Amino acid sequence: MMNENKLVSSTLQLADSALILGQRNAAWCAHGPILEQDIAITNITLDLIGQARNFYQYAAKLMNEADNKNETEDTLAYFRNERDFKNYLICELPNGDWAQTILRQFFLSTFQSLLFEKMMQSSDTQLAAIATKSIKEIQYHLKWSSEWVIRLGDGTEESRNRILAAVDYLWMYTGEFFIPAAYEIFNAADLQQDWLHHVAIVFEEATIPFPAENQFMQTGGKTGMHTEHLGFIIAEMQSLQRAYPGAEW
């Protein structure tokens, strides 16, 4: 049987990463480069927030059963402090330009596709069910972001320069996917070679040079050590519920 504290923490980590990236992507709503892509990234945002809700609901159920608490998906999203969030650092980074947003989504979707396929085989039936429900969404996110990486890398001089700059900025945050936290119930380290392989295939088609090995990697998000950006995200996201607890439309 899984350690329940580890199960709660792992579930919250999955929820937090989906929520914070969804919150970041939501800033593109009505600001996409063309209407079709505006709608696409808005739908991806809704998918991510839907995944977060499923994980938060499960985490709340586990916490309530174990400690007689009264947690809900809303309390976990709106009333936890910055150091309580366990999302990957890459999710909280600024959107930057379209290339940076696209590449961040590609990196995470590639990882999620591998992790959720593994999670579908979990002995925890609820996590397996959430993964099974989410995998088709993730496959679409991966297809969409892959096509954009290729389009930008093998496009104009301007688009290529932008995606190369995005690689330089974001690559150092990808290692955190595979560096285990003490609470994690899924060993993501064994997914790293598959992730690198899938990224390399897309980079090759996009004519993007593959980054050098053994680069320094930023870590800390999974254990509550965040960049300065997360505080601003959750302050804005939580402001209404903090000011008017229990407010409803």
Map out the domains of the chain as residue ranges.
Answer: 4-243
CATH code of 4-243, in short, is 1.20.1260.10
pLDDT digits (tens, 9 = 90+) for 21-78: 999 999 888 777 777 777 889 999 999 999 999 999 999 999 999 888 899 999 999 9
Q: Over the chain, what is the mean pLDDT?
A: 93
Per-residue three-class SS string for the chain: CCCHHHHHHHHHHHHHHHHHHHHHHHCCCCCCCCHHHHHHHHHHHHHHHHHHHHHHHHHHHHHHHHHCCCCCHHHHHHCCCHHHCCCCHHHHCCCCCHHHHHHHHHHHHHHHHHHHHHHCCCCCHHHHHHHHHHHHHHHHHHHHHHHHHHHHHCCCHHHHHHHHHHHHHHHHHHHHHCCCCCCCCCCHHHHHHHHHHHHHHHHHHCCCCCCCCCCCCCCCHHHCCCCHHHHHHHHHHHHHHHHCCCCCC
| Tens of pLDDT, residues 205-221 | 999 999 988 889 999 99
